[in-house]
Amino acid sequence: MSRAFLIDTDTASDDAVALIMALKAADVTVAAITVVAGNVGVEQACRNALYTAELCGSNVPVFRGAEAPLLRPLEDASWFHGRDGMGDHGYPSPRRSVEPLHAADAIIKTAETYPGLVLVTLGPLTNLALALRRKPDLGKLIGRCVVMGGAPCCEGNVTPAAEFNIWCDPEAAHSVVRGRLPLELVGWQLCRGTAALNQEDIEKIKGFGTPLAHFAIECNSTARAAYLEQTGEHGISLPDPVAMSIALDQTIATSSSTHYIDVETSSALTRGMTVVDRLGVAGNNRNRSIWSDLLPQPPNAKVHWSLDVERWKDSLYRALSS
């Protein structure tokens, strides 16, 4: 039976590969792609999403969303993905245009059309936060909300404390974790080390000889260089495709647990930090005085702590080899 997905994305090079994985998945109907400013400006992200859908032969409707975070100016990640977000290879303009409906309304309309919708977010959570403002009980219609974002109990990639998607619009993330959605957090730590594509993996993908395989490696050329500079690690790190592999098959995540999580919005040092109460101390009476100003909240998200790297990469290979 086909599952309905909505993908919210700040489409740059890793988002594009995640879109391909969903659009090529046999048992998934991508009902909509909603676009948000993040990696690049929203207009460029829309072009990138439309172009990627075109490469997959898909007419999936694409909806433009927020041009900036809820309260802050946009600070993009073109330093990582390239000016156009796709490695600056001069890809042609897409043939189609976006739909007239705003992305936040498209999220609501799609959820109402497809109850049990799988919502996958690959960028800042601005559109989802706007949708929740317009429909606070949106969560009742959502089957899973898989969020690529956060650095649960570990280092960030844009500051020592925070991962880009959450850091870019922390107020939106703060609102989303309070939105009573069935949240699953796929943090940046899951796309590093052996989960990144090494040279052997890259050669394997190139060996498929398909247009999608060529595109997936080519559009991540800038990101590959930036990843080495950022972490000292070689290879192509693909956070959004890792999150998509788990959205497509939750069993690829090998250890997960549900906790109270929250997002820092006031401190410059820890802006966008995803605070995970992994030990459950928030509800501990002995610590009540410490937490007196922070009413302990019930667990509100499932955090994925590890994944099966071989199965994640097989999921990618299936999409790119067809």
Binding footprint of ligand RIB on the chain (CB under 6 A): 10, 12, 14-15, 38-39, 77, 122-123, 148, 157, 163-165, 188, 239-240
DSSP string, 152-200: TTS--SSSSS--HHHHHSHHHHHHHTTS---EEEE-GGGGSGGGSB-HH
**Among residues 49, 122, 151, 243, the one that binds Ca ion under rule CB under 5 A:** 122
Main-chain dihedrals φ then ψ at residue 241, nearest 5 degrees = -60, -35
187 interacts with Ca ion by CB under 5 A? no
40 interacts with Ca ion by CB under 5 A? no
Instruction: Choose from Ca ion, ligand RIB, none: what does 252 bind? Cβ within 5-8 Å by kind.
Output: none
Q: Which residue is nearest to ligand RIB (CB)?
A: 164
Only one residue has tokens 């992305």, namely: 103
What are the counts of helices (DSSP H) followed by strands (DSSP E) for the chain? Answer: 12, 10
Closer residue to ligand RIB in complex, CB, 142/226: 226
Instruction: Choose from ligand RIB, Ca ion, none: what does 58 bind? Cβ within 5-8 Å by kind.
Output: none
Closer residue to ligand RIB in complex, CB, 274/300: 274
- At its nearest, how many Å lie between ligand RIB and the CB of residue 280? 27
Contact call for residues 230 and 157 (beta carbons, < 8 A): yes
Contact call for residues 239 and 14 (beta carbons, < 8 A): yes
- At its nearest, how many Å lie between ligand RIB and the CB of residue 77? 6
- The mark string for 77-116 relative to Ca ion (x by CB under 5 A, - otherwise) is ----------------------------------------
- Residue from 252, 262, 270 nearest 309 by CA: 252
218 burial (CB, 10 Å; 0-12 / 13-18 / 19+) is: middle
Site of interaction with Ca ion (CB under 5 A): 10, 15, 122-123, 240
